[in-house]
Chains A and B, each alone.
Chain A
Amino acid sequence: MNPILITIVTLTAIGLLVSAILFIVAKKFKVEEDARIDDVEALLPGANCGGCGCAGCRDFATKLVSLDELGDVQCPVGGGETMNKIAALLGKTAPVSAPKIAVVKCNGTCENRPKVNDYDGFATCKVKASLYSGDTGCGFGCLGCGDCTRVCKFDAISMDPATGLPVVDESKCTGCGACVKACPKGVIELRPKGLRGMRVVVLCNNRDKGAVARKACQAACIGCAKCAKVCKFEAIAVENNLAYIDPEKCKLCTKCVDECPTGAIHKFNFPVKKKVEPKPEAAPEVKPVEKPVEKPAPEVKPEPKPEPEVKPEPKPVEKPAPEVKPEPVEKPAPAPEPAAEPAPAPEPDDREDVIELDI
C-alpha cells in the first residue's frame, strides 16, 4: 500500500483515539467551579497583598462567592467601591465599613527623642527589637530600621531621613495592614481615614509613666489626661499612661490638640484656614457628601453642640478625601507651658553613655 496513505490513516486513528480519551477524562474528572469566581476576581484589585487575610485575590474571590452573607468581609485595597460592585454581582448586601489608613503613632524625631546609644547591628527592626529596647530612652517607639517600608506592596510608606520615622503616603496607602504586622513595637495602627481624610491622633506609643516618658522624648504622651477632660464626647481614654482617641467617637473638635502639653496629639488634613465661629447648621449639611460610610452618627448628634467647627462650608482646596496630600497643617502647638507634668528637663544625655550595640 502507499506508505503515505498508511501514515495518514495511522495518525488519524491515533488522533481520534486520543481525542476520545481526552473527551472522556474531561467529562469524568471535571472540576465544578463557580463561574462567578472568575468574575469576582476580575473586579478585585489583583494586588495579592493578603490584607483581607486570604492567600491572594483568587482565594478571596472563592471565599466571597461561598459566603452566604458578606458581613464585614472587606477588601482593604479596593474599599467600599469594589465591595459594592461585588455585592451587586453576587446579589448580596455590601458590607459597611470605612476605608482605613495606616497611622504611625510615634513622633520621636531626632530632636524630640535623643539617642542614648548607637546600634550597629543588622539593620532590621525585628532583629533590633529582639536584642534590646532601642537606641533612645523610649522603649515603645519607632526603631527606625524600616521593616514597614520593606513589606509595603504599594510603596506607600517610606522612611523620612530627616526625622528617622516612616511617612505614610495617604494617596497610596490601602490600609492592607502589612506594616502593622511587620512592626515589632506595634507603633502602626489602622485607623478610619476620617471625613475628607481629617483625623485627630495621639502620635505616641509610650506607656511609661509621665516623667520617664517625657525624659525619653519631648513629644511623648505623658498620660496627664488633660485631653480626656477637655473632650466632650468621651472619645479619649487614658490607659497605661497613654491616651487613645477612639475614632468612632471623635468628632474632630480638636480641643485636645490645643490642650496637650507635649504636643503629642496631632490633626491631619484639616483646612489651613479655619473659620473660628462655628455654624451649628453646617454639620448636617456637610454630612451627606459623597461618603455616607464614615460614622454618620457623629455628625447628626451634635447639633446642639457647636463643636464641629472643623467643617465650615467654605472648603478652600479640598476635593474628595483620598487625593488630599497630607500637607501636615499642624504645628504641634508648643502649648501652654508644661503645667502638670513633673520632668521638663529633656536635655540630651551625656554622650559618655553612648554604647554601640550588637552581638
Chain B
Amino acid sequence: MKNKTFAIGGVHPAERKMAKDAAIEVFPLPAKVAISMAQHLGAPASPVVAKGDKVKVGQVIGTPTGFVSGFVHSSVSGTVTAVEPRADLAGNKVMHVCIDVEGDEYAEGINLSGRVERDVKGTPEELIEKIKAAGVVGMGGATFPTHIKLAPPKDKKAEYLIINGCECEPYVTADDRLMREHPHEIVMGARVMAKALGVETVIIAVEENKPEAFAALTEATLRYIGFYVYKMKKKYPQGGEKQLIDAVTGRRVPSGGLPIDTGCVVQNVATAYAVYQAVQKDKPLIERVMTVTGDCLKERKNYLVRIGTPLSAILDSVGGLPDGAVKVISGGPMMGKAVANLEATTQKGSSCLLVLTAKQTARTPEQPCIRCGRCTQACPMGLEPWLMNRLGRAGDTDALEENKIYDCIECGCCQSTCPAHIPLLDIVRTSKADVMKIIRSRAKK
C-alpha cells in the first residue's frame, strides 16, 4: 500500500535530522530557572508563589486565569527569588517565576519508578481533571491546553484519536527519539486519552523517515485492539492538525471550522507521553525532550530538560555558539521563532534549539512577483498567497477576508517556494492578524 499523505500543497524540505541517533540524555539541573506564566495558548497563568517561598518539584506555581489557560508547575526545588516580568525569547516582557535550585526534592505523590503502569483507572471526567491539573498542553508547538481538546462540545462526537508522530519539521528529532525510547508510555498515554474521549480507534501516524519509531510503536500496540500505526509519506506540513486529519482519514476540516467537526482529535506524541506521566504517574508537566542541533555545532543532542532552563545553559553544554553562528531558532526552521534573547528559558512548547550560520540564513533581495503560481501549489490550505501579498500590502481587509486568509496555518510553504523571494509569510501573517482583529471585534458586537 502506498504511504498516505494529505491531498493538496506541501513541500519537501531537506530533512537534515542530524540528531536522530543521539539518545535522550537528562540535562543536568541548572543553577537557576525562570518559569514563564505564558507557556500555553490563551490567558497567562497567575503566579501563586511569592519571593522567598520554598517550592518542590511539581508544586503548582501558577493557576489558570480563563477558560483557555493552564496550570504551571515548578520544575525544580528551591527558593523563589523573584516573581517579575522578564524578557521571553522574543524579548517581550512576560511574568516569570524565578527559582534558585536547591537539591531535587519532589512533591509528594509523584511516582518516579520506571515501570510502565498499564491500568487506566478513573472516569473520563477524572482523567481530564487530572490532565488539566498537571498543566499538560499540546507539545507539538501550538501549546493549546490538552484538557480542552479532550472535552469536545456536547453536540460533537469524536470518532478517532490521531496521535501525531509525523515530526515533519527538518532538523527536529525530539519526537522521533521519544517514540523510539518510550513507545509503551506513548501508547499508554494514547489509551488514557482514548478513554477520556470515549473513542475506540486510535491511529498513530509516523512519517516514513522514522522506521525505528514505526517499528517500536507497532510492537507496543500489538496487544491493544483498535490501535493502528500508519506509515505516512514524508511531506511538510504533515504534522499540521488539519493536514494530518486529511492524510489519515481523508476528511477535510471545513473552512473556519475545528478538527472536531470531522470527528477527529489530534494529539502530539510528546503530549501523549506527558498525559501518561500526568495520569499514570501523577507527575505534572515539568520537563520535555528538546533537540539541540545545527550544522555548525560540534555535537547534537536530544535532552530531557526541565522547563525554565536558560537557553544559554543548553547551548553551553554543546560547546557554546560556534564561530559563524548568527541565528538561534526555537523550534524547527519552518515554523520556529528566532531567539532574540539567549537568557530566555525553555517552555512547554520548545521542541528544538537550532543554530544556523550566516550562509544558511542569508536572504536574497525581494523581486517582483512573476505569477508563477508556485505558492498556490504549495499552500496546504488551498489559499493564494500571491493574492494575499498584494491585498495585504494594499491593506484591503475585506478582500482578504473574502479570500479566507483566516484559514492560513502560517506553515511557510509559500515563502519557501517563492522564486522571487517575496516575504509572503510575513505579509500574510500580519494581514491575518489585522483581519482576525476585525472579525473578533465584529463578533463582540
**Residues on A close to B: CB < 8 A?**
116-118, 120-122, 126-127, 130-135, 139, 208, 352-359
Contacts and interface: CB of A to CB of B under 8 A. Distances in A.
A132 B329 CA distance: 13
Contacts of B328: 355
B429 interface: yes
A359 B338 contact: yes
B101 interface: no
A355 B356 CA distance: 10
A120 B361 contact: yes
Nearest to B362: A120
B326 A356 contact: yes
B324 to A, nearest CB: 12
A132 B90 contact: yes
B250 interface: no
Interface of B: 87, 90-93, 321, 326-328, 336-342, 358, 361, 363, 412, 423, 425-427, 429-430, 433
Contact of B430 (A126, A134, A139): A126
A9 to B, nearest CB: 54
21 contacts: A117-B341, A118-B326, A120-B361, A122-B427, A127-B423, A127-B426, A130-B430, A131-B337, A132-B90, A133-B91, A133-B92, A134-B91, A139-B91, A139-B92, A208-B93, A354-B326, A355-B326, A356-B326, A356-B327, A357-B339, A359-B426
A139 B412 CA distance: 26
A355 B339 contact: yes
Contacts of A353: 341-342
A139 B90 CA distance: 10
Query: Main secondary structure on chain B at its contact with chain A?
Result: mixed
B342 A355 contact: yes
Contacts of B87: 133, 139
Given A127-B423, A135-B340, A353-B342, 4 more contacts: A132-B340, A352-B321, A357-B338, A359-B425
Contacts of B358: 356
Contact of B337 (A118, A126, A352, A359): A359
Query: What are the nearest 8 A-B pairs in CB distance?
Result: A133-B91, A132-B90, A122-B423, A357-B338, A122-B426, A127-B426, A132-B340, A356-B327
Nearest to B321: A352
B248 to A, nearest CB: 28
Contacts of B90: 131-133
Contact of A357 (B327, B423, B427, B433): B327
B423 A121 contact: yes
A354 B339 CA distance: 10
